[in-house]
Amino acid sequence: GLRGVKLVISDAHEGLKAAISRTLSATWQRCRVHFMRNALAHAGKSGRRVVSAFVATAFAQDDADSARQQWRRVADQLRPKVPKLAALMDEAEPDVLAYMTFP
């Protein structure tokens, strides 16, 4: 069988998350591509490039603390104009940035 799995990346399907937790005892991460698709759906056609660039700044950080701080700054910047996107970012933060806790 499969052993030593430390991180599993998938979409946010509840059944997958439960199975990963139950059978692998591994950290689960929400897929960044799937997250970005969800995020950009809130951005509107004209805002997609800006939102994509803003969120990418969090992914570009060198450590977990910096990534979380930047993620929150981006969410706060977007909140006045795109509150649903900011709420999605608030909810998804620990899941999307899970990989940052690994070396």
Going by DSSP bridges, is the β-strand pair 7-10/27-30 parallel, antiparallel, or unpaired? parallel
Handedness of CA 14, 19, 24, 25 (dihedral sign): positive
Q: Are 33 and 9 in contact (CB under 8 A)?
A: no
Please give the pLDDT value at position 60. Answer: 98
For 25-34, write each residue's pLDDT tens digit.
889 999 999 9
Please give the pLDDT value at position 97. Answer: 98
Structure tokens that stand for 72 in this block: 């929150």
Res. 1: pLDDT tops 80: no
Please give the pLDDT value at position 83. Answer: 98
Give dist(CA 79, CA 51) in Å, integer: 12
Sequence ranges of the domains in the chain: 32-101
- pTM confidence score: 0.89
Residues 6+ apart with CB under 8 A from 86: 75, 76, 78, 79
Please give the pLDDT value at position 82. Answer: 96
Please give the pLDDT value at position 88. Answer: 98
Give dist(CA 16, CA 18) in Å, integer: 5
